[in-house]
Amino acid sequence: MSDLEAFQEQIGYRFREVERLQEAMTHRSAGARHNERLEFLGDSVLNFVIAHEVFHRRLRDSEGTLSRLRANLVNRSSLAAIAREIDLGSHLRLGGGELKSGGHRRDSILADAMEAVFGAVYLDSDFDTAAQVITGLYRPRLESLPEEVVLKDPKTRLQEALQSTRRPLPGYQVLDVRGRAHHQKFRVECRLRDSDQATVGEAGSRRQAEQRAAQAMLLEIEAERPGDADG
């Protein structure tokens, strides 16, 4: 086992029962007592703590903006980045296959374990302590929250993601519109031009439905990236 003392120093919390931290570091490929239950708990405490933070830091912003701010902070890539900053990967317990294929550098495994660590801290202490650990690790990001104008919407981010890999821009098409006035539902398809991939978004306006379809496509593209290791 690696030096969990140093890791506890990094996150600013010393475990009463270090077995909980060990469980948080154990990927399901490595054994029976793995980190997925702790990840479930940690995901929800993280979401709440970050919701609290953006709510109090952005008193004039709408629910939509708060949601986007939070989503930017708790998504896989932010979690993986924080995990890398505190060298979480070197403490991971992985099974043989994941070990050989570089699982300790993979975004998804790092992000899941980071959430599990938050869950383990909460379980080992209390809500206030978990909130302190989370806000401590998130401090630089919380203190530089983007302004709404630079907070990019899903269509913009999808366009940039495709351009960065020299792929053609997506097409959007309204599939149907239902319902009475003021209660209309638009369904819009987002389709990539160089593959058979399509996603559908639904909302009360065409613009919002396009954004949702783009968001779904972003998730698909993210899920596809082989290994998605970048660290």
Contact residues for a second copy, defined by CB under 8 A: 36-37, 39-41, 43-45, 47-48, 51-52, 55, 61-63, 66-67, 97, 127-128, 175-176, 178-179, 182-183, 185, 187, 196-200, 202, 220, 223-224, 226-227
Alpha-carbon distance 131 to 78, whole Å?
17
- Judged by beta carbon, residue 26 or residue 199, the one nearer a second copy is 199
Distances from the Cα of 77 to the Cα of 18, 80, 171, 212, angstroms: 27, 5, 26, 20
The least distance separating a second copy from the CB of residue 47, rounded to whole angstroms, comes to 5
Q: How far is the CB of 89 from a second copy (least distance, A)?
A: 18
**Cross-strand bridge partners of residue 189:** 173, 200
Q: Is 115 assigned a catalytic role?
A: yes
Q: Tell the smallest beta-carbon distance from residue 12 to a second copy (Å).
A: 20
Q: Among residues 1 and 180, whose Cβ is nearest to a second copy? A: 180
Is residue 170 helix, strand or coil? coil
CB 98 within 8 A of CB 29: yes
Nearest to 231, CA basis, from 112, 7, 115, 80: 80
What count of residues does the chain have?
A: 231
> Pick the catalytic residue: 23, 61, 115, 189?
115
Work out how close the CB of 216 gets to a second copy at its nearest, in angstroms, rounded to a whole number: 8
Measured from the CB atom, is 1 or 96 closer to a second copy?
96
Query: Is 216 within 8 Å of 200 (Cβ atoms)?
Result: yes
Residue 106 has what DSSP assignment?
Answer: B
Q: How far apart are CA 162 and CA 155, in angstroms?
A: 11
Q: Closest separation between CB of residue 111 and a second copy, Å?
A: 14
Report the residue number, 47 or 135, with the smaller CB distance to a second copy: 47
Are 197 and 209 in contact by the 8 Å Cβ rule? The answer is no
Whichever of 8 and 197 has its CB closer to a second copy, that residue is 197
Quote the CA–CA distance of 207 and 214 in Å, as a whole number.
11
Please give the structure tokens belonging to residue 43: 């995901």
The one catalytic residue among 23, 39, 43, 53:
43
Q: For this structure, is 128 an active site residue? A: no
Residues annotated as catalytic (active site), given as ranges? 43, 115
